Amino acid sequence: MTDCIFCKIINREIPSYTVYEDDDVYAFLDITQTTKGHTLVIPKKHVTDIFEYDEEIASLLFSKVPKISRGLEKSFPEMKGLNLINNNKELAYQSVFHSHIHLIPRYSEKDDFSITFSNNGDKYSTEDMVAMAKLIEETITND
Ligand code: 5GP
Ligand code: ZN
């Protein structure tokens, strides 16, 4: 895609710090370095977000994530954890519309990344949960 910053990075029209590359996947350092080693993993084929993946692109991309994660862990022995983040659409904080997985190494509770999950479990009854799971399951099955 001509107007896409990550396609330009893949094509070397814009420089980047390469971490891993093969025929289908490119990984490079995120310019913001939220924590040391913050890496983006992207499919070489332009897909906007997770909703556009087919199974082939998904397996090509996600199958490389453990290898790159281990590369980070071995490179930075002080690393104590890793968050994988994938933002989809603007509301969910996506700012570059070529799909990417953030690999964010974690070093301490006070490093520069945090995420909170609220617990809203008490707002849904067992019946609500059964109905919600059934709706999603049937939608997937009929897709
Ligand atoms: P999003 O907000 O879409 O999940 O993440 C986009 C990421 O792309 C941001 O973390 C941002 O720092 C990174 N980014 C944007 N432009 C560039 C660039 O030109 N080079 C690199 N290496 N990272 C970029
Ligand atoms: Zn692109």
Report residue 2's pLDDT band, with 50, 70 and 90 as the boundaries. Answer: confident
Q: Which long-range contacts (CB under 8 A, 24 or more apart) does 53-58 make?
A: 53/99, 57/24
Reported pTM: 0.97
Q: Share the mean pLDDT of the chain.
A: 97
94 in Cβ contact with 85 (< 8 Å): no
Question: What local confidence, expressed as pLDDT, does residue 124 receive?
Answer: 98
74 pLDDT higher than 90: yes
85 pLDDT higher than 90: yes
Q: Which of 38, 46, 98, 100 is catalytic?
A: 100
Ligand 1 centroid distance, CA of 95 (Å) = 7
Ligand 2 centroid distance, CA of 126 (Å) = 42
51 pLDDT higher than 90: yes
Q: Is the CB of 16 under 6 A from ligand 1?
A: yes
14 in Cβ contact with 48 (< 8 Å): no
Q: Is the CB of 94 under 6 A from ligand 1?
A: yes
Question: What local confidence, expressed as pLDDT, does residue 64 receive?
Answer: 98
What tens digit of pLDDT does each residue of 88-143 get? 999 999 999 999 999 999 999 999 999 999 999 999 999 999 999 999 999 999 99
Options 1.25.40.10, 3.30.565.10, 3.40.630.30, 3.30.428.10; CATH for 5-116 is: 3.30.428.10
Catalytic residue check, 38 = no
Domain ranges of the chain: 5-116
23 pLDDT higher than 90: yes
Mutate to test the pocket of ligand 1, among 14, 28, 30 (most ligand atoms within 8 A of CB): 30
Ion ligand 2 neighbours (CB, 5 A) are: 1, 4, 6-7, 46, 98
6 in Cβ contact with 96 (< 8 Å): yes
